[in-house]
Every structure is written in C-alpha cells, then in structure tokens.
A and B are shown apart, each in its own frame.
Chain A
C-alpha cells in the first residue's frame, strides 16, 4: 500500500525566507506525486505534480519540488516566502497500476509566514 509522510505538522518562516516542506512516500511502483494547497475555508487546489521525465517540477506561485527516487522524497520549496503563502500544504501519491486519480494524502503541513 502506498503512504505519504509529511515531516512537521507546522512550519514557520519569516517573509522572504526559504520555504521547505518535507514529504516522503512509500510505493512499490514508480509513483505519481503531487502537492496541493488549501487556503483557509477553501478546498484544495493543485500546486504541482510529478509524473515522469524531469525530476524538478515547477508549480504555481513560485513553488517547485524535486523527485528523488533514492531518497523516496518529494520536498516542496520556494526561495522567498510571501505572506500570501500561509496555508496548509498536502503531499499526495497515486498508483497508476490501480487508478491514477485515487490519491493518498499526507497529514498536511501548516505554513505560517511571519512579517
């Protein structure tokens, strides 16, 4: 079975500082990996995804993530945090052997941005 572990339920950074949200996955086959963002009182929206090909993927709002198979990781980064980045971030994995839309989500990381 697939699983996702997000290290740190809360991360706090200063405005302008580097954002690093950690995600490790478990999968017996090459996975599809995703980051979703949830702003307060809203549904989730896709930030970026890795399917095949280039291991460094870029998403919306300046975020990017790198797929590292040897480390089974898919960490999310942004060089300079903005106040508007404050939200909850979810890493997710899917297994194309079964059905690509059945995502398994991590527990989430709440990002706080301090002014």
Chain B
C-alpha cells in the first residue's frame, strides 16, 4: 500500500528556474493539498483541491501553481524559483467533506533548496 508518494525527495534549483513537485495517492481520496514546512513556522497551506478539476488557494499561494486533472495526481509547479521558496514540501490527501475531516495522510516530503 503506497499511500501518498512524492517525487523528487531532494532538489536543488537556481534562482529563476522552474520545476514540478509530483504527488500521487492510491487511496481514491477526494481531497489533496500541498503544505510547506519552515522552521518555527509549522506547516502552511499552499494550495488544495477538493476533487478533480477543482483547486483553490491556501495561505501562501504566491509563486506556485497547481492543477488536478485526475483523482490520483496533484502536482505543484514552481514558476520561477526564489530563495524564499527553500523549504520542505508535503503533499497530503484525505477523504471528502464530511467523512473523517482533518485526517490527513502525508507523503514523506520533498526538500527543495533554491540558490
């Protein structure tokens, strides 16, 4: 049972480069989300999706894009990387609204460094 799979686990970028963090889940979850984790700041929500074709912004969406073409996949795109985007990124999924809300299943994280 794979759960939530994130790739890559580590990435180093130069300022201005773009890249995509991949996230896939095999639990048929309706809800998927991306968080970033920074020391002393906990996890902050970047974008989320309540189902295929539906996405919305979280607390810190600037500089990131998402799309949800399938139930399984929820990629996060960095358009033009900046040093402030150096962080650990977590993808999380959950059931739909009303069923065990707040019970998120997390991937193992993607550590991104922007030089």
Chain A residues close to B by CB (< 8 Å): 4, 9, 32, 34, 36, 41-46, 49, 51, 90, 92, 94, 96, 99-108
Take A43-B4, A96-B101 as given contacts and tell me if A101 and B42 are in contact as well, using a CB distance cutoff of 8 Å. no
Contacts of B102 in A (CB 8 A): 32, 34, 49, 92, 94, 100-101, 103
Q: Quick one: which of B41, B90, B97, B107 contacts A100, CB cutoff 8 A? A: B97
Report B80-115 residues with CB < 8 Å from chain A CB.
90, 92, 94, 97-98, 101-104, 106-109
**Cβ–Cβ contact A102 & B45, under 8 A:** yes
Is B53 interfacial (CB 8 A cutoff)? no
Chain B residues close to A by CB (< 8 Å): 4, 31, 33, 35, 40-45, 48, 50, 58, 90, 92, 94, 97-98, 101-104, 106-109
Whole-angstrom CA separation of A7 from B107 in the bound complex = 27
Whole-angstrom CA separation of A24 from B52 in the bound complex = 35
Write the nearest CB–CB distance from A39 to chain B, whole angstroms.
11
Write the nearest CB–CB distance from B45 to chain A, whole angstroms.
6
Take A44-B90, A90-B42, A107-B41 as given contacts and tell me if A100 and B101 are in contact as well, using a CB distance cutoff of 8 Å. yes
Q: Which of A32, A36, A41, A101 has the most CB of B within 10 A?
A: A101
